[in-house]
Structure 1
């Protein structure tokens, strides 16, 4: 039988991310060899966090997959113990051909779940209060509205602001709520808001997670 040639970092990351999504949907667990083929796994709560991590990497000129880093959405912080347990099955020391290094990105209210799953303090990047709040603060309100305008959503946001339940709320709170009102919008703006930032203004939690993305030695 002919041996399969080693796959590149990008292919290994893609295979693990695909296998993890299938497992999360009820399929078989990723194989230990698939887990051991990547260097770092960044566990995030949802798709919007994943979009922001990739957008921040783009702002910094980084490519997570090329560096052997998988960014895995879990469908909620309370799944962290389950996911961390699976990725520990790479076996051996952390790094290539062993269990990957685990990093986590979470909201401040969810940090306890990551700690209980065994992630080290230095491996947990905490958004205060959450990722949307960090991005709105980093951009500022005028620049955030510019992103909405470019996406064609500013008029819709103005209508949203005039709803009785929103009129008395601060604009930052209105924006935060607006991003969560339609399926897919949080993911869209996780990417767009992050991409609108210069490197020096990226929120610290995204920089902390991206500190794990290091090239092959």
Structure 2
């Protein structure tokens, strides 16, 4: 049977989906599943058209993208003959869109306080405090500061994205928990994507 391939913009996106998929007790190579799952790092959303061309007729293809880049996915799917006009059409095909981007979805889901506890755990909190003191970022919204900080050093975006996804699944408890009366919901596009993967692999 054809595999299920999930097209993801970069390594951090693939890491987040991998954590959420594993939290369901599933593996990308699961002998109990009807279909194998591949989480494919496209190394940039502009490669989506080429990936769709390569996979046409060979796999069930799903995907995740950021709002500013959804036009590339729409264009690639139209070239494959799909009648897609908007985000609702994308969702019906199993392609889901983060309102801003993946990091923003994770930060909003957990809240800035909880994200800062994760930074402390990772040994990055003092660097974040120094970043906040920079003139161009002083006094700005903490969520925006965290979003920008995540991408200011090599490897930080991937490491932080993975850890924030683990927080959503309660797989790695905080060392200094911030009061959180209810579990943080998985952001809508991520929850929808994981549910679509589940449906495809068990079909």
TM-score > 0.5 by shorter chain: yes
2:43 corresponds to which of 68, 71, 75: 75
**Offset of residue 64 of structure 1:** 2.7
Matched, 1:197 2:168: yes
2:112 pairs, out of 141, 149, 155, with 141
* Equivalent position of 1:46 in the other structure: 10
Q: Measure how far apart 1:133 and its partner are.
A: 0.5
Gaps of 5+ in 2: 83-88, 170-182
What pairs up with 1:58-207 in 2 under 5 angstroms?
58-66=22-30, 67=33, 68-88=36-56, 91=57, 99-118=58-77, 121=90, 122=92, 123-198=94-169, 201-207=185-191
CA RMSD in angstroms, aligned pairs only: 1.8
Rg comparison, structure with higher value: 1
Give the conservation status (yes or no) of the 8 Å contact 1:51–1:191: yes
TM-score under structure 2 normalisation?
0.78
- Superposition TM-score, scaled by structure 1 size: 0.74
Offset, 1:38: 5.0
Deviation of 1:85 (Å): 0.6
